[in-house]
Amino acid sequence: MQRLSILVVLLLLLPLVILAQDIDPTSSEAMIDSLSVAREQSILAEYGFRDSNTLAYVADKLEIADLARWKSALGLEPANKALDDMTLRRLELTPYRALIAKQTVEYGYNELSTLSEIAASLNMPLKKLKSMLGNNDPLDKTWDNRSIQALGINPEQIRAIHDEFEHDILLYGSSVTLVGMLVVFSALVITSLIIRQLVHLNVKTKSAPVIKLSSDGKVKSAPNTLSRNVIVAAITALHIHRQEIEEQRRMVLTFRRTPTNQWRASAVLSMPNRELKARR
């Protein structure tokens, strides 16, 4: 029974093996060539040139403004004027390649560029570009490495989307700048008002009570808030302080040295002959 099931599976796989052997390995290349041929036919219908036309004629049909840059994008020598009279076929160029070079010079990208390459060249967020193209899923990466030709998008649409993005970001930047300036100036005004009101919050310190005395020691004026005991204590302290000052002055006068005559004090020692010749 097991052998019979294996035999049935082999019989089912046999047609698939035969079909795989009959497939031409160059079929994918042939498909690409057919797409190129179809694109060149559409270029002939739209612009009216083929590979038998000269480089100058093709540049005129494509309305190339900067011929030197276009020739450089084609891999040709920009300053070589002799190439202008040569056909595309002789220069080993195709009409499709000429159109791709024209798009590269005009837009900075072409229809074979992927969305990630275009976003990098335009300095535009890839998610924003995909969103403006209709892909609202930010986690979807199937569009990242696909060309705009495969997505059915032409370079002119990308330019229009980029111009809209630049306009929106300019308005957004202006609004953010305006809001920031309003916030800053409002904060400065509020801060100045608060600082101005701080003057009214400061409590003035009360001055110390002053007692005025006459020359004979009597009280001339005193604050009403002070009691008589405080006034008596203040006068007593002042009287004691003045007594201490008088005592210090008397002590200074007591210890003052009296003047002495040094000549008379030294006369006895400096003249000893008076003692020797004294009369007896």
Please tell me whether residues 156 and 225 are part of one structural domain. no
- Both tokens of 96, joined, read 């499709």
Please tell me whether residues 136 and 101 are part of one structural domain. no
Please tell me whether residues 187 and 145 are part of one structural domain. yes
Residue 104 burial (10 A CB sphere; 0-12, 13-18, 19+)? buried
Give residue-wise pLDDT tens across range 63-78.
888 899 999 999 899 8
Q: Tell me the DSSP string of 188-235.
A: HHHHHHHHHHHHHHPPPPPPPP--EE-TTS-EEE--TTS-HHHHHHHH
Residue 79 lies in a domain: yes
Please tell me whether residues 186 and 245 are part of one structural domain. no
Residue 103 lies in a domain: yes
Q: How confident is the model at residue 11 (pLDDT cuts 50, 70, 90)?
A: very low
* Beta-ladder partners of 213: 219
Residue 119 lies in a domain: yes
Q: Which of 46, 78, 107 is the last residue before a domain boundary?
A: 107
Given a cut of 70, is residue 224 above it in pLDDT? Answer: no
Instruction: Name the residue type at position 37.
Output: V
Q: Tell me how far apart the alpha carbons of residues 165 and 159 are, in angstroms, rounded to a whole number.
A: 10
pLDDT score of 5: 45
pLDDT score of 188: 92
Phi, psi of 199 (to 5 degrees): -65, -35
| DSSP3 helix / strand / coil % (the chain, rounded to 5) | 65, 5, 35
Q: Which of 52, 80, 107 is the last residue before a domain boundary?
A: 107
Q: In this structure, are residues 122 and 107 in contact, taking their beta carbons and an 8 Å threshold?
A: no
Please tell me whether residues 88 and 125 are part of one structural domain. no
Q: In this structure, are residues 118 and 153 in contact, taking their beta carbons and an 8 Å threshold?
A: no
Given a cut of 80, is residue 274 above it in pLDDT? Answer: no
Please tell me whether residues 100 and 118 are part of one structural domain. no
Given a cut of 90, is residue 221 above it in pLDDT? Answer: no
Please tell me whether residues 121 and 154 are part of one structural domain. yes
Q: Tell me how far apart the alpha carbons of residues 135 and 153 are, in angstroms, rounded to a whole number.
A: 13
Please tell me whether residues 75 and 121 are part of one structural domain. no
User: Tokens 């036919």 belong to which residue?
Assistant: 41
Please tell me whether residues 189 and 118 are part of one structural domain. yes
pLDDT score of 206: 63
Q: Give how many domains the chain has, as a whole number.
A: 3
- Which pairs from 70-78 meet CB under 8 Å and 24+ separation? 70/101, 70/102, 70/105, 73/101, 73/102, 73/104, 73/105, 74/98, 74/101
Residue 260 lies in a domain: no
Q: pTM score > 0.75 for this model?
A: no
Please tell me whether residues 125 and 184 are part of one structural domain. yes
Please tell me whether residues 102 and 86 are part of one structural domain. yes
Query: Domain range holding 74?
Result: 34-107
Q: Tell me how far apart the alpha carbons of residues 160 and 162 are, in angstroms, rounded to a whole number.
A: 5
Residue 19 lies in a domain: no
- Both tokens of 275, joined, read 């003692």
Residue 43 lies in a domain: yes
Q: In this structure, are residues 169 and 129 in contact, taking their beta carbons and an 8 Å threshold?
A: no
